[in-house]
Structure 1
Amino acid sequence: MRLYAAVAMSGFRRYATYRIATAAGVFTNTVFGFVLAYTFIALWHERPHLGGYDRAQALTFVWVSQALLATVSLLGGGFQEELQERVRNGDIAIDLYRPADLQLWWLAADLGRAGFQLLGRGVVPLLAGALHFELALPADPLRWLLFLCAVLLAVVVGFAVHYLVGLCAFWLLDGAGVAMVSQLLCLFFSGSLLPLTVFPGLFGAVARALPWAAMLQVPVDVLLGRHAGWGAAGALAFQAGWAAVLLALGRLTQARATRKVVVQGG
């Protein structure tokens, strides 16, 4: 465990060195947050309580989404591209020779990255939104603790999804197409464009049951108190279940990819 803790700290320090990129990301998230906020204000003016949210809750959804955008890598920018590049240039062989589990290594590094992004790119946009708009942020410390647990699970689910996409490079000469499709699915089905509760009927039910919902919709709803008591436990269990399934699928895919590397002499 010390090894993976060191890898996580290394991932944190690595992203902390890119100060200009972090400042640019904070600026982008804040500006985009204002654009979405005023769009939501107009939409909720016409449709009050759309999706079960009042205006303050809808605006909170906007700004928490901006705070988690880089943390959960909803638009990419995590380890996925690096993993694909290491597969293409053959450096993945060095990773396989390390006395460490490949999946856990990348997970630890991604947790370190997510920790920095939450602090470096998440806090300032949320504060900017809270100062300019009336948000429905809770005063209960327990709910904030549950929210942080949900964010941690969201990062793990996001890692598992991106890891599977990254492993596609073992079979594809260029995984950019798969990565783009993954980003589009993540952008829509995570709730970052509109809360998934807005979509009615069977489509909405399916969207809320998919793993992408665990990456954003669930953490925001936990913070807003829409999952209280046993409901919060159920929401965290939903995230943990998808994390376990996707990590197991990633391990199976990794095992098959490793055999492919041996066959090819890589």
Structure 2
Amino acid sequence: MRALIGCYPHLAVAGFHRYSTYRSAAVAALTTNSAFGLMRIAVLFSVLGARQEVAGYDAGSIASYVWLGQGLLGVIMLWGGHELADRVRSGDVAIDLSRPWNLQFALLAEEFGRAGFAVLIRFVPPMLIGSLLFDLRWPQRSQTWVLFALSVVLAVAMSFAIRFLLSLSAFWLLDARGITAMYGILGGIVSGLTVPLAFFPDWAQLALWWTPFPSLLQNTIDVFVERGDPLPLLAHQAVWTVALLAIGQLVQRAAERKLVIQGG
């Protein structure tokens, strides 16, 4: 049991090293993120216009919202990350399930390693670019940095939990590309990437609060810019993360019973 638990830190390190080999891809993604960041901030600043603030967001908060979103996009991996679905489709998942580990925990450990590398390459540079070009709103309280780091960890785990469930759907759908593509389209809207969720009508904000999606990006950004009490935001993230990981365990067990090897 101790050896089994001890393998997960090694998997996290392996995940970090694996993604650190794709430096050119990381630089290309950073360039794209920065370009889209400039376009998004231009649009939102036009919404702000001559007003002091919109939906509680002033110029500094909007600038921080945009560049935090662009930086966190690669960290939480809102789009992509469905290799498990491909392995289910090819039948290679049988090898993964035969190994002496919990598949969900193993993939989550690798995910944290990937996210750690993404913080260095996909998060820090956009924030530096944004701080050079705009007057960002930085945390005013020292504890906010700790709360923000915790929020990022929860967001990474939650994003993984959602993608894990979507990938497991391949056991029943045989090809999960349709459902993952739909999630990719809607994810940016309901997570608060496209525009702040505070711009939505009150009824839509209330409805979204009962879903996990604000915890992917919006809650983490609000913790950083100190928008409201951070504790309910973190509690929302923690509850949904634990719930989705637990559901993932149940669905994984059902999938193992359903296992159909395709090809190979």
TM tier, shorter chain? over 0.9
Quick check: 1:29 aligned with 2:56?
A: no
Identify the residue that residue 179 of structure 1 maps to in structure 2. Answer: 180
- 1:50-87: per-residue Cα shift (whole Å, max 9, x none)? 121111101110000001001111122x2x2x101111
TM (normalized to structure 2)?
0.94
Moved more, 204-213 or 30-39: 204-213
Please report how far the alpha carbon of residue 262 of structure 1 lies from its aligned counterpart in structure 2 after TM superposition. Answer: 7.2
Please report how far the alpha carbon of residue 139 of structure 1 lies from its aligned counterpart in structure 2 after TM superposition. Answer: 4.7
Aligned partner letter, 1:165: L
TM (normalized to structure 1)?
0.93
SS of equivalent residue, structure 1 residue 174: coil
Are the counterparts in 2 of residues 36 and 62 from structure 1 also a CA contact under 8 Å? Answer: yes
Please report how far the alpha carbon of residue 2 of structure 1 lies from its aligned counterpart in structure 2 after TM superposition. Answer: 2.0
Quick check: 1:223 aligned with 2:215?
A: no
Cα distance between partner residues in 2 of 1:84 and 1:263: 13
Aligned partner letter, 2:25: A
Cα distance between partner residues in 2 of 1:49 and 1:75: 30
Structure 2: any 5+ residue segments left out of the alignment? none
Please report how far the alpha carbon of residue 173 of structure 1 lies from its aligned counterpart in structure 2 after TM superposition. Answer: 2.5
Cα distance between partner residues in 2 of 1:143 and 1:215: 18
Are the counterparts in 1 of residues 171 and 260 from structure 2 also a CA contact under 8 Å? Answer: no
- 1:221-265: per-residue Cα shift (whole Å, max 9, x none)? 0001113xxx3222111101000111111111111100011799x
Q: How many residues align?
A: 259
Question: Equivalences for 1:58-97 in 2 at 5 Å?
Answer: 58-76=62-80, 78=81, 80=82, 82-97=83-98
SS of equivalent residue, structure 1 residue 49: coil
Please report how far the alpha carbon of residue 162 of structure 1 lies from its aligned counterpart in structure 2 after TM superposition. Answer: 0.3
Q: Structure 1 segments of 4 or more deviating over 4 A?
A: none
Cα distance between partner residues in 2 of 1:35 and 1:262: 46
Cα distance between partner residues in 2 of 1:74 and 1:93: 26
Moved more, 166-175 or 4-13: 166-175
Structure 1: any 5+ residue segments left out of the alignment? none
Please report how far the alpha carbon of residue 118 of structure 1 lies from its aligned counterpart in structure 2 after TM superposition. Answer: 1.4
Cα distance between partner residues in 2 of 1:177 and 1:67: 27
Indicate the percent of aligned positions where both proteins have the same amino acid: 41
Are the counterparts in 1 of residues 90 and 261 from structure 2 also a CA contact under 8 Å? Answer: no
Cα distance between partner residues in 2 of 1:198 and 1:210: 17
Cα distance between partner residues in 1 of 2:105 and 2:174: 25
Q: 1:5 aligns with which of 6, 9, 14?
A: 9
SS of equivalent residue, structure 1 residue 59: helix
Going from structure 1 to structure 2, the CA distance change for 1:47 and 1:10 (only over 3 Å counts) comes to same
Identify the residue that residue 250 of structure 1 maps to in structure 2. Answer: 248
